[in-house]
């Protein structure tokens, strides 16, 4: 198999006596779309920043494109596109100038940057806003501009930290489409997210992280197959009754999870399980049969929900 473009072994980050990244191992292959899925504080941004060379690691081994970020930061960054969790656009500059000035940091000539910025504005569907002030853009437009800017140096690896947090569903779908095109064109994507649907849409393979550790690794499908059942029945009996009813659901599915607002019944046949629930005279206020998702995987692995 080809050399990994990113390789981490026992990667650690310690802040004082707090361990943010606690010895994680992973590899990212060229052209792959790799995800870090985990809740707030899991250590996703910390890991991304160590890869990007903007944060020193406390321990372990890390190579990016065969180089150690501690020794070869600038060489690595020349081939990396970075989209940080918080947009850090220059609000003083116009939209196009943000891309051009960013390219200047890489020492790229204006003769290259002017046509390149035009291409990127088209890619980000921001041509009509080329001369607008950044402050006048919507959140989704700013996010697309940050991504366009991150592509100015034609990176081999694009690092996206929470690319669609705060965007409406339509803006998210536009972004997913753009990222999918980049992947088709051969760019390696590294994405962090706490949205399981985003991970399912974008990632060929992912690690589920919690408290700085890897809980599981695989494709979305593998993870669901290994850690959940085919289907889930969600039933609501009212917050007062959920805890009391769960005893009467014994044996309906392979197992149950009681959440504050609903009970999840894990089973390979949701319709049959729901029939059995009704046959037992339990009559939920609402019920829903759905396929298992990464959310269920996360719940199984950590006992907590991912998005609250
Ligand atoms: N400079 C710092 N000093 C001390 N603790 C820090 C620092 N930066 C991050 N941390 C802590 O490290 C942990 C991991 O933070 P990180 O930002 O990597 O999480 P995350 O997975 O990106 O979360 P989110 O989904 O909220 O973005 C958190 O508990 C955070 O408080
Ligand atoms: Mg983060």
Instruction: Express each pLDDT in 71-92 by its tens digit.
Output: 999 999 999 999 999 999 999 9
Q: What is the pLDDT of residue 42?
A: 95
| pLDDT tens per residue, range 246-282 | 999 999 999 999 988 899 999 999 999 999 999 999 9
| pLDDT tens per residue, range 14-67 | 999 999 999 999 999 999 999 999 989 999 999 999 999 999 999 999 999 999
The CATH architecture annotation of domain 229-291 reads: 2-Layer Sandwich (3.30)
The whole-angstrom separation of Cα 35 and Cα 22 is 18
Q: Is 85 in the pocket of ligand 1 (CB under 6 A)?
A: yes
What is the percentage of the chain residues whose pLDDT exceeds 90?
Answer: 85
How many angstroms from the chain centroid is the CA of residue 61? 23
Question: Domain residues of the chain, as ranges?
Answer: 4-219, 229-291
Residue 243, pLDDT above cutoff 70: yes
Q: What is the pLDDT of residue 308?
A: 52
Taking residues 127-151, report their average pLDDT: 94
Average pLDDT, the chain: 94
For residue 22, give every residue at least 6 positions away whose Cβ sits within 8 Å of its Cβ, in sequence order, or none: 12, 43, 211, 212, 213
* pTM for this entry: 0.91
Give 4-219's CATH code, choosing from 3.40.47.40, 3.40.50.720, 3.40.50.300, 3.20.20.70.
3.40.50.300
Q: Is 42 in the pocket of ligand 1 (CB under 6 A)?
A: yes
The whole-angstrom separation of Cα 286 and Cα 295 is 20
Nearest CA to ligand 1 atom 30: 41
Q: Is 49 in the pocket of ligand 1 (CB under 6 A)?
A: no
């Amino acid at each position: 198999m080809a050399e990994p473009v990113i390789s981490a072994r026992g990667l650690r980050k310690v802040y004082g006596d707090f361990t943010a990244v606690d010895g994680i191992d992973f590899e990212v292959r060229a052209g792959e779309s790799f995800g870090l899925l985990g809740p707030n504080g899991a250590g996703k941004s910390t890991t991304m920043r160590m890869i990007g060379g903007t944060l020193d690691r406390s321990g372990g081994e890390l190579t990016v494109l065969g180089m150690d970020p501690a020794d070869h930061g600038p060489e690595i960054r020349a081939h990396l596109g970075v989209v940080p969790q918080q947009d850090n656009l220059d609000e003083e500059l116009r939209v196009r100038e943000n891309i051009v000035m960013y390219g200047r940091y890489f020492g790229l000539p204006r003769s290259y940057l002017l046509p390149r910025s035009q291409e990127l504005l088209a890619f980000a569907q921001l041509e009509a806003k080329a001369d607008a002030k950044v402050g006048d853009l919507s959140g989704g437009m700013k996010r697309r501009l940050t991504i366009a800017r991150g592509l100015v140096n034609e990176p081999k690896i694009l690092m996206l930290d929470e690319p669609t947090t705060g965007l409406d569903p339509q803006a998210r779908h536009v972004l997913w489409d753009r990222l999918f095109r980049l992947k088709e064109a051969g760019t390696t994507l590294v994405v962090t997210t706490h949205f399981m649907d985003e991970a399912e849409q974008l990632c060929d393979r992912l690690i589920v992280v919690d408290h700085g550790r890897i809980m599981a690794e695989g494709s979305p499908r593998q993870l669901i197959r290994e850690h959940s059942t085919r289907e889930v029945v969600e039933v609501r009996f009212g917050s007062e009754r959920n805890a009391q009813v769960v005893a009467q659901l014994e044996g309906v599915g392979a197992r149950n999870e009681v959440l504050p607002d609903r009970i999840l019944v894990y089973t390979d046949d949701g319709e049959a399980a729901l029939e059995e629930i009704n046959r037992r005279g339990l009559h939920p206020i609402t019920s829903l049969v759905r396929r298992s998702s990464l959310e269920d995987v996360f719940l199984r692995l950590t006992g907590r929900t991912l998005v609250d």
